[in-house]
Amino acid sequence: MNRFFRALPVVALVLGLVGPLSMGTSYAQTSTPAAAPTTTGTVQGTIKDNTGAPVADAKVTLSGVQTKTTTSDAGGAFSFTNLASGVYTLTASKAGYQAASEPDLAVFSGQTQTLAVVMPHLTFSSLRTIASVRAVGRGTFNTTPASISVVSSQTFIDQSQPQVMKILNETPGIVASLPSGSANGATPGAITVPNIRGALSFETASLIDGHPVSVGTYGDYVTTFLNPFMLQNIEVVKGPGADAPEVNYAIGGTVNFRTKDPTYQSSGLWQAGVDNWGSSIINFGISDTTGRLGYVFAFGSNDLLTNVANTNVWVSPQTPQQGILNFNGSGGMGIGYNDQYPTPIVPGTVSAVENSYNLVACCQHIGQDLYQNRSELAKLRYHLSAATTATFTYFGSQTHANQTANTGDITPSFFQMSASQSKNYTGSLANGSGLDIGYVRTPENETNNEPILEGDLSSSIGNDTVLARYYAAGIHRLNHQGSDNPFVPTVETMQLYGYDTATKTTYNGLSVPVTFYDYYNQAENDALKGYSFEYHHPFGDGNALSFSYDTTHSTTTSYSVFATGGPSAGKPFKTSTLGIGQSVTLPTGSAQDFGTALLRGTFRLNPKLGLTWSNYFNTYKSTYPLRCNGKCSFDGTNYVFATTTRTHYDPRLALEYRPSQALAVRLAVGSAIAPPYLALLSGLDQPISYDSKTNIATQKVSGGTLNPETAIGFDLGGSYRLNADTFVSLDVYTENLQNHFLTAWFAGGTCPATDPVSGAPTNCKANTPLYLQKNVNLADARFQGLELDVQHSPQAGFGYKISGALLRGYPYNLPQYFYCSIPGPGCKPDVNLGIVSGKNFYGNGIGAGANGLSNTSVPYSQGFAEVNYRTHNGWYANANLTYYGPNNSMFVPAFTTLGATLRAPLVNGLSFQISGDNLTDKYANIWPSYGTGIPVQLANGTFAATQANTLYPRTIRFTLTKTFGQGAPTP
């Protein structure tokens, strides 16, 4: 990777030279041809905002050989005539709108340049800060100082995607990852989180309409429940070039999900679809502006199924994690453990997995793997006057998902009895048979409710603009397993095969009721509210100063309730032996307050060079449980809370250089930050543990003194227009992170005589060393990569897209005793072994000590390629390949999936579309396979097995779409 950065000067030079040499006479020529006629030239155009509405009374200036100024009329039109031949710079501005600028505008005698200028409203909802100017008929390309990719809502329609994961994976630099060991990629309810440029999930900022969402417990945003039909576009801003009002968690960058805006003219869309698995998709939306009122109303309903539905899986009553089973129908219990001990499921690894059973049952039935999502969007925008606009938004999402399959897996195993055990066995399942034994929870359901409210006010005061916003967001998530009553089990009739060592009974396929006692109830409630304010002051020619302040207050309660105890082998079950336990991650009272003051200056140093200087001053206040005194409850009873406050200054500098209309070069450098999320701070102080044999004392203590992670990043890139419809974008970057959050041991002095938590004597000998385990800021990390994006997008005919990225994201400078559960000189590495200096982050391996730092993996490469064809009358087709590189979050070898779409216009805006995903059925197994993923190297030189995940199966969707009206917002 270092070769990339040694080559940066060469890249910049090539980008600077290729532009003028490749665009042809219309862009490279700056003087009147010798044979030119004596008449003058003309520049004309129209200015519209991002809703398609004309922008009247905008100031338009053309400077160069001559300097002229005009204003746009009521229809947004402007014109300059009698222009001498030469090169000009066009600027357009109006209070309340983003300014537009286009250098190197060539004017020739006798010719007319017709321009389309888009000046979006100044708003908190978008992260883009520069308007676009283009020749009519020519597409736009990235002329901002940031590496930014914008995914339009049309992309989801063209591929018929009801969720965001696949489309995000097609965008270079961002990966929608599956957490290792806790998600089945074949199910629509699988947890997915976005990762930008190799940064971990909590190091990627996720926003909706430019404001934070509730991520209080673990710092990352789950995109599973987001319906893309509600979105106008997705802005992916990579590296330090973003200028959002706040930059919390934006180590790798920011992904901003923008909801639909009102259109200037009437617009609507209705969709109804089904697929080959029985799923149904219904979407409906309307938008218009009538007089002073603009509105959007949208509703989406996704009922998604896959091949997991109505399947059966072998289980074993002797699997401890499967739950307590009553299988003889008379109250007696049998938990028959095999005489054979667990063996490594993958040779050459340290991962011992129980994969040989003398008692098995057929079969546990999996019902409908149903994912039901209902989403609503209501947005009203009222123009109080020509200068003042108020916008009110409700965005809601309610989801119910059967998570039985999502959290389950299978282990390739053997039905194996010893000679003595098989003496009386006559069953049809042969002794020694290979079986996939499932670890499948009894009925498990997840309910997720995410309401969001927004209120925005924009007002112009002279040439200045004032923005104000209030927002509130919540996540109310409940995972429920087992029956509603922990004392009422789940019962299924199964056929038993094998020998029960507890009751010394042989089963030859007898059908008996099997009783599961597996009650679990996990609740998470996050609530966030915030305020934003910005004052924007333009001055001079293309310059502006702005000050903004954003503050959020979030509260989080996270806990689980579960059943413990139960019957022992061979004894009747009594409800008195079943106890109800409680595990609290964050009790009520846990909270965080973030404040960000931003002073930003945008300066036009000359017509071709712009500079943006941003200064963030961040304040973090965290309130978290420190210890528990007595019997504590999730409602905060008997918890002792502590509060810490941290501040950090984060400057950012970005340059954008336009040597020609065809080329934009960008350079960004700046600081990034990730505050500690609440789950990191919630570890309670524990009593001291003294080992008289080793004469070592250990103690787990709260990590409340954590500082934010900080990083310095660099991005150098450029975008080049090959012709009217073809664009190339290239970025190289590097980022160094400090204060990585790690759980580690370190020396804590000597053991005191009295325990500081319990107050009891520690019984330590004199001068006994004390080692403390806590979440601390210790290791460093580095992120490096290269991103390429090539697009050819004609209005009609063949188009294509080729994109990809090389990614590195790895730790280094790991501390002493980091790999030791018992610290001190001569310790043996046995923990944190999955965190390897210099190797890309990956999720957890199987086995003691094989844990990684991240719950997802950072692939070394990714890619996407598409060819498409469209006609002016509505025909459309595409075929696409998505490449998942090595070290992907599925723990499988690098692979490629195939997708395709064909859309045919019918009548009056009605079209019929067929779309296919994973047409080659790559890794389309029903269950993740425990232990069969690609082994990962551990820090001590050994290897650990992993869980091989699955991908959604071949899916064919059939969709009817009806469009009506004329309006369409700008992506």
The DSSP bridge partners found for residue 493 are 513
Mean pLDDT, residues 1-10 taken together: 40
pLDDT per residue as tens digits for the range 265-277: 899 999 999 999 9
Q: Are 304 and 953 in contact (CB under 8 A)?
A: no
Only one residue has tokens 């200054």, namely 649
What pLDDT does 505 receive? 87
Q: Are 727 and 697 in contact (CB under 8 A)?
A: no
What pLDDT does 669 receive? 96
Least confident of 165-179, 223-237, 296-310, 316-330: 316-330
pLDDT per residue as tens digits for the range 912-961: 999 999 999 999 888 999 989 999 999 888 999 999 999 989 999 999 99
Q: Report the run of H or E that residue 957 belongs to, with start and end.
A: strand 955-965
What pLDDT does 5 receive? 38
Q: How many CB atoms are closer than 10 A to CB 859? A: 26
Q: Report the run of H or E that residue 916 belongs to, with start and end.
A: strand 910-917
17 contacts: CB under 8 Å, gap ≥ 6:
none
Closest C-alpha to 120, from 106, 147, 140: 140
Least confident of 92-106, 286-300, 343-357: 343-357
Mean predicted lDDT score pLDDT of the chain: 86
DSSP secondary structure code for residue 336 in this structure: -
What pLDDT does 805 receive? 97
Whether residue 573 is predicted with pLDDT greater than 70 in this model: the reply is no
What pLDDT does 323 receive? 44
811 contacts: CB under 8 Å, gap ≥ 6:
740, 779, 780, 781, 835, 836, 837, 841, 853
Q: Are 530 and 462 in contact (CB under 8 A)?
A: no
Instruction: Give CA 66 to chain center in angstroms.
Output: 50
SS3 state at 558 = strand
Q: Report the run of H or E that residue 473 belongs to, with start and end.
A: strand 464-481
Whether residue 655 is predicted with pLDDT greater than 90 in this model: the reply is yes
Share of the chain residues as helix, strand and coil, in percent rounded to the nearest 5 = 5, 55, 40
Closest C-alpha to 61, from 541, 645, 678, 570: 541
Q: Are 178 and 185 in contact (CB under 8 A)?
A: yes
pLDDT per residue as tens digits for the range 783-816: 999 999 999 999 899 999 999 999 999 998 887 7
Cis previous bond, 764, omega within 30: no
Report how far residue 594's alpha carbon sits from residue 360's, in angstroms, rounded to the nearest whole number: 53
Report how far residue 234's alpha carbon sits from residue 204's, in angstroms, rounded to the nearest whole number: 14
Report how far residue 644's alpha carbon sits from residue 593's, in angstroms, rounded to the nearest whole number: 11
Q: Are 201 and 195 in contact (CB under 8 A)?
A: yes
Mean pLDDT, residues 660-674 taken together: 92
Least confident of 308-317, 576-585, 759-768: 576-585
What pLDDT does 128 receive? 73
- Provide the pLDDT confidence category of residue 582 given band limits of 50, 70 and 90: confident
Q: Report the run of H or E that residue 5 belongs to, with start and end.
A: helix 2-6
Report how far residue 857's alpha carbon sits from residue 407's, in angstroms, rounded to the nearest whole number: 18
pLDDT per residue as tens digits for the range 407-424: 888 999 899 998 999 999
Only one residue has tokens 């490629």, namely 896
Whether residue 246 is predicted with pLDDT greater than 50 in this model: the reply is yes
Closest C-alpha to 575, from 583, 585, 565: 565
What pLDDT does 572 receive? 47
Whether residue 578 is predicted with pLDDT greater than 70 in this model: the reply is no
Mean pLDDT, residues 158-171 taken together: 93
Whether residue 394 is predicted with pLDDT greater than 80 in this model: the reply is yes
**Strand 769-777 with 696-700, pairing:** parallel
Mean pLDDT, residues 95-116 taken together: 86
pLDDT per residue as tens digits for the range 704-724: 888 999 999 999 999 999 988
pLDDT per residue as tens digits for the range 8-48: 333 343 334 333 333 333 333 334 444 444 468 899 999 99
- Provide the pLDDT confidence category of residue 279 given band limits of 50, 70 and 90: very high
pLDDT per residue as tens digits for the range 815-830: 777 888 777 777 788 8
What pLDDT does 332 receive? 37
pLDDT per residue as tens digits for the range 120-159: 888 888 887 666 777 665 566 888 888 998 999 999 999 9
What pLDDT does 35 receive? 45
pTM of the model: 0.90
Whether residue 336 is predicted with pLDDT greater than 60 in this model: the reply is no
Whether residue 453 is predicted with pLDDT greater than 80 in this model: the reply is yes
Only one residue has tokens 């779309």, namely 915
Residue type, 945: A
**Number of residues that this document lists for the chain:** 971
DSSP annotation string for 80-113: EEEEPSEEEEEEEE-TTB--EEEEEEEE-TT-EE
What pLDDT does 798 receive? 96
**Strand 726-738 with 709-723, pairing:** antiparallel
Per residue in 598-626, is it b (16+ CB within 10 Å) or e — as a string?
A: bebebebeebbebbbbbbbebebbbbbbb
Report how far residue 447's alpha carbon sits from residue 441's, in angstroms, rounded to the nearest whole number: 16
CA-CA-CA-CA torsion sign (501, 502, 506, 507): negative
